[in-house]
């Protein structure tokens, strides 16, 4: 059993991990993507104190260096559910299961609405992680909903591996080169099927698939943790970054605007300290 599970590898997760390492806690850090792969496309960040005029990818690189230097590792898994079981938390990530005394949610800003039935097909054909689950769909027919250009390398990885891939790029200026990709410029709205996913429906049509990958910044926190209080898609937190569920903390964009590196890093720090304080009170 871990003291803490951190979910998400943006600046808040990085800051939380650094502090937990220094504070000597036994923690696991789960994320759909290694931080270094989250190549940020911000052209220039001028307001991260101490690192003037860095690009998003430079900042990501310095953060990565920091955690590498401290021997902190990210476990590349997508957590699809967090369950409160008898004073501890069980985290589901595909076939794996993890237990932790506290959880820090650093899942980022929610991007876009969920599809109709999305929740009910998680683990039954709906996946959020290309590298985790891609191999399950070798030579099969897949759908890929991609919300951001920065995930295009994952789209191509999935398309190349598939028999055929229906790609729904939800942004301007897509450049997807795979021979197996068929681009559909409509918004998917619904999933249907029986025990497993069968179809993705979009305005004016549908496609038959064996699986659907949804590549977006974050899973909805309310989907992730049953009973978590949210407001307008943001996790409601107190000043110490505790949520309405004792033992669960949140930090970064998932707690609301402003969406800023400095704010996320500060909150990751506070959440880590609050989790440690919670642990010392609940031995």
Sign of CA dihedral 23, 26, 30, 33: positive
Question: Using CB under 8 A, which residues numbered 215 to 254 contact its own copies?
Answer: 237, 239
Contact 107, 219 (CB under 8 A): yes
Q: Which is nearer to its own copies, 193 or 252 (CB)?
A: 252
Q: How far is the CB of 11 from its own copies (least distance, A)?
A: 7
Asked if residue 34 binds its own copies (CB under 8 A), the reply is: no
The 61-100 site mask, x for binding its own copies (CB under 8 A), equals -xx-xx--xx------------------------------
Distance CA 112, CA 75 (A): 25
End-to-end CA distance of the chain: 13
Binds its own copies by CB under 8 A, chosen from 26, 41, 42, 52: 52
Region near its own copies per CB under 8 A, out of 10-18, 95-103, 117-125, 164-172: 10-18
Asked if residue 43 binds its own copies (CB under 8 A), the reply is: no
Q: Which is nearer to its own copies, 8 or 268 (CB)?
A: 268
Q: Which is nearer to its own copies, 62 or 97 (CB)?
A: 62
Give φ, ψ of 210 to 5 degrees.
-95, -20
Cα–Cα–Cα angle for 189, 194, 195, nearest 5°? 115
Contacts of 172 (CB under 8 A, 6+ apart): none
Tell me the site size for its own copies, rule CB under 8 A. Answer: 37
Distance CA 5, CA 28 (A): 5
Return the residue matching tokens 């609050």: 274
Asked if residue 50 binds its own copies (CB under 8 A), the reply is: yes
Asked if residue 174 binds its own copies (CB under 8 A), the reply is: no
Distance CA 179, CA 165 (A): 9
How many helices and strands (H and E) does the chain possess? 7, 17
Distance CA 27, CA 121 (A): 29
Return the residue matching tokens 């659907």: 212
Q: How far is the CB of 263 from its own copies (least distance, A)?
A: 5
Q: How far is the CB of 49 from its own copies (least distance, A)?
A: 5
Asked if residue 265 binds its own copies (CB under 8 A), the reply is: yes
Residues in contact with its own copies by CB under 8 A are: 11, 14-15, 18-19, 22, 46-53, 59, 62-63, 65-66, 69-70, 237, 239, 256-258, 260, 262-270, 273
């Amino acid at each position: 059993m871990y003291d803490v599970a951190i979910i998400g590898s943006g600046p808040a997760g990085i800051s939380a991990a650094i502090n937990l390492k220094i504070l000597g806690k036994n923690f696991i850090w789960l994320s759909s993507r290694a931080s270094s792969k989250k190549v940020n496309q911000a052209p220039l960040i001028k307001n991260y104190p101490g690192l003037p005029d860095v690009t998003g990818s430079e900042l990501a690189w310095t953060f990565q260096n920091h955690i590498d230097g401290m021997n902190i590792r990210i476990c590349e898994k997508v957590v699809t559910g967090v369950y409160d079981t008898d004073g501890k938390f069980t985290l589901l990530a595909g076939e794996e299961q993890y237990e932790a005394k506290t959880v820090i949610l650093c899942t980022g800003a929610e991007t876009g609405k969920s599809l109709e039935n999305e929740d009910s097909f998680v683990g039954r054909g709906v996946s959020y992680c290309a590298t985790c689950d891609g191999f399950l769909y070798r030579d099969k027919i897949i759908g890929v909903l991609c919300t951001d250009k920065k995930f295009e390398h994952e789209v191509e990885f999935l398309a190349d591996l598939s028999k055929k891939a229906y790609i729904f790029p939800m942004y301007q200026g897509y450049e997807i080169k795979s021979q197996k990709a068929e681009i559909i410029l409509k918004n998917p709205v619904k999933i249907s099927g029986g025990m497993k996913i069968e179809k993705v429906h979009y305005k004016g049509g549908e496609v038959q698939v064996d699986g659907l990958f949804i590549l977006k910044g974050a899973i909805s926190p309310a989907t992730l943790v049953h009973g978590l209080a949210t407001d307008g898609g943001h996790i409601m937190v107190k000043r110490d970054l505790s949520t309405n569920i004792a033992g669960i903390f949140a930090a970064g964009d998932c707690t609301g605007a402003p969406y800023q590196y400095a704010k996320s890093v500060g909150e990751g720090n506070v959440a880590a300290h609050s989790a440690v304080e919670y642990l010392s009170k609940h031995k």
